[in-house]
Structure 1
């Protein structure tokens, strides 16, 4: 065998792992996966602001690791997808701890204790880049050691994962008295709470398998299906065969707004709002992988009349490859043999949801989601439906504020568009779902150059209105119709 060893450059590998598209909440969820796999009963997520020295830690009281297990855990891709895993292991590629951490910080320290024996290892990306070697440090330095001891306290078993030199905050320009940046830092706490409550809801539901706290506050599970509500419509569960195993699909039609209290209605909207939360919910070993998505099935797009349709899909852990579960555990691609069945189930669930909404005469307004996301606002007032272009949409706002344009002309154009919406034609076209329905920018998939340019204009508008680049990309990636397409905002 004639060959050469073409080892990847550590600096290039670090840059690649840092750019996998994790948000802070999804990265923390990857760390919580490890705590759950370690059979932790208590998991704590701490955010501490200290200017450029700010840090985030995830601590658990799980089984802890031996020294060799810690080194394996800190090694990139030490265990691939085919490695044998326990029934509680939520990992897949053996990269979650590293890729999630490198996306958020420049210094990762893991301290673990089992049977009273402590072991510590640190990745300092500055060291990796300087020496062009994967130098896993045995000593993290005095400051980090003091911090780890403070976080760990007197724990006898478990693990501390500490992030320092946080991305976006580790700069001499960021000081501890920078109130604006501090507010941005702690705004991530609320987003993290909502995400973890959704992703690990099945673990938090009684009888709870673990307790998760964020900054000392216990999380409550977010149930997307309102399974305890008496007005919930349950569609019969259907097992779909996939090789030697089966995929469990259970559709739900949620109660209409009239059957929910104001608090129930607001909570049921979820982190992304009613429109953003409709669709399939894919679970693997009870961990939520995908929340509210029509899986790219052609002709199925988000519309208000289907807001009550949510479908639980439980895939076996061994079917990861067939479902294309990615490194971040944030997206899936359904296997070809199941797609027509999923489409069939989705269509009759959507029709049942639409029927339920029509019977109650309820128009669910887009304003129940993030008002920045949608170009149109739908309201019912004085017994009539009103359609208005969202003046708070970043691109609309930028056009109105552009000093180089005539704002009166722009406002007049917007009013003309609002008053001439072809409602009759739209009603005829969209009475039922058809495969020839128009889809924004050509539907799901890679974005065309025109789409990318429009998305970039929205991105620039976000930046001009004071958002950070990371926050702007995050907002763009959840904004219809860009949330169903692939471009720079979610690459």
Structure 2
């Protein structure tokens, strides 16, 4: 064996946790020193492998949520060309477990050991067209973030091979001891989930984080455990939507319930507006950007509208959707681009962005495959496209709002008229509203004072305060008289005064009720103005 071979062998031993490579015995490498007059000084160095305890702590703290972690494992199933994935949740207090089982091609013994080795394949490794991996740590980092006992069992043709990471043993021994033989409890679970299968892969999580100090009889915690299944199901329907449809779709079941795809662009609706797509070249690759303006609420059924709003609501789901090999990386974000922020009037604006996997570094795709940062060279184009689709979306909202107001009840629909003239927004009280007219015509009141009060109210609309309150999704926005449903006493009193004013203007009692039913906010409330009821 040559001296270089001996040194390489020592380096390998040290990297796996041996004692070679200490500061007292530095290595010398002549292979990189060069020859002749330009030869560099001989390189001396130490091998400094990361300590297992510190590495485990780092991998466990990458910020995975449970849905993110499960999605990372399904990436491996897709890469293995699986057509079906089953995700089991089993409650047993501190012995609770989760298993992700697929029917993919499986792995050989050597392949399994490589898959269980941290960062065995880096970002530069050549990968197949279906491979969704990047850093070679997804299986370990996702799993370590959720459990202390990770077991993977795999088969290519009937013979199942199993390896286990027990983090308690790794931390106790300070060595990466990849265990060959699972415990009896683990073996029983593996037999259960692999029954009838001749190939595929099972990822089993035991000693799940957050549940090790619980009791099996704790019903509240048990419910929380199974509630996580619904969160996982919703997340997977978003992230893998493109894989769940098509001629040969991927089937995913979570706790026995099939995952349904969520299409953020409502592509099956004929009222969807598809704006011209733009292929953006960068470093020999192409980023495909496709803007969409979604149908307005008037063109969707209530169920369709709720579904299109997404799991987090319309405001959170506007913006760019970044895909990598058809796998969603980022959903509903304006990517931090200057001048683009979430606002209600842009809720219909969504943009699909497909990036090649070869551009992960340029887009700064993180380990969790959950965030990206657009390349500087594309930001100007993405900002331009974002501004364009936002304008179109806002125009659609404005136009549909005007049409709805005209169809609804004409000038009596709203107490306020909001317009944009010469680039400025104005908020004016509707002088044709019956209550406003009644006050202006009241002989006991000075009309000049009433008009002055109305003008003061119009000129002092608290726009800045409303804008601050409306920066985020607004489930706590004030609703007139408490919102839709049965009218309260205050709403009924206001409606009675409107009824008197309308009758005084020459309308019959029935006509007055009909006009109130078409006036905001009484069109969303139940009271005497409803059909068949009297004023009293």
TM-score when normalising by structure 1: 0.75
Confirm or deny: 8 A CA contact 2:342 2:471 kept in the other structure: no
| Structure 1 position 200 matched with structure 2 position 218 | no
1:17 is the counterpart of 2:50: no
1:309 to 311, 327, 349: 349
1:270-309 alignment to 2 at 5 Å? 270-309=310-349
2:143 to 101, 106, 128: 101
Superposed, 1:198-237 pairs within 5 Å as: 198-237=238-277
Give the deviation of 1:421 after TM superposition: 12
Whether 1:116 and 2:126 are equivalent positions in the alignment is no
Distance of 2:260 and 2:173 partners within structure 1: 45
Question: Whose radius of gyration is greater, 1 or 2?
Answer: 2
Offset from partner CA, 1:208-244 (integer Å, 9 cap, x none): 4311111121112100000010110110110000111
- Whether 1:255 and 2:295 are equivalent positions in the alignment is yes
1:134 pairs with 2:176: yes
Residue aligning to 2:414 = 383
Alignment of 1:134-213 (within 5 A): 134-171=176-213, 174-213=214-253
Number of matched residues? 382
TM-score (norm 2): 0.68
Q: Distance in 2 between matches of 1:250 and 1:424?
A: 37
Matches within 5 A, 1:423-434: 423=461, 425-426=463-464
Pair 133,439 (structure 1): closer, same or farther in 2 beyond 3 Å = farther
Kept after mapping to 1: 8 A contact 2:343/2:471? no
**TM alignment of 1:289-438, pairs within 5 A:** 289-361=329-401, 383=414, 423=461, 425-426=463-464
1:439 positional shift: 12
Q: Which runs of 5+ in 2 are unaligned?
A: 1-42, 403-412, 417-456, 473-536
SS in 2 for 1:176: coil
Q: CA deviation at 1:205?
A: 1.3
1:423 Cα deviation from its structure 2 partner: 4.2
Q: Secondary structure at the match of 2:155?
A: strand
Query: Structure 2: how far apart are the matches of 1:170 and 1:83?
Result: 37
Over 3 Å counting, the alpha-carbon distance change for 1:146 and 1:438 in structure 2 is closer
Distance change (3 Å), C-alpha of 1:208 and 1:307: farther
Say which of 40, 43, 66 aligns to 2:85: 43
Deviation string, structure 1 residues 427-455 (Cα, Å, up to 9, x no partner): 9x99xxxxxx99989xxxxxxxxxxxxxx
The structure 1 segments of at least 4 consecutive aligned residues displaced by more than 6 Å after TM superposition are 419-422, 437-441
Q: Report the CA distance shift for 1:146/1:346 in structure 2 as closer, same or farther (over 3 A).
A: same
Q: 2:75: which partner in 1?
A: 33
Unaligned runs of 5+ in 1: 363-381, 386-418, 431-436, 442-491
1:89 aligned partner: 131
Give, in angstroms, the shift of residue 426 of structure 1: 4.4
Q: Give the deviation of 1:271 after TM superposition.
A: 1.5
User: Counterpart in 1 of 2:103?
Assistant: 61
Match of 2:306 among 249, 266, 272: 266
Task: Give the whole-Å Cα distance in 2 for the aligned partners of 1:62 and 1:361.
Answer: 50
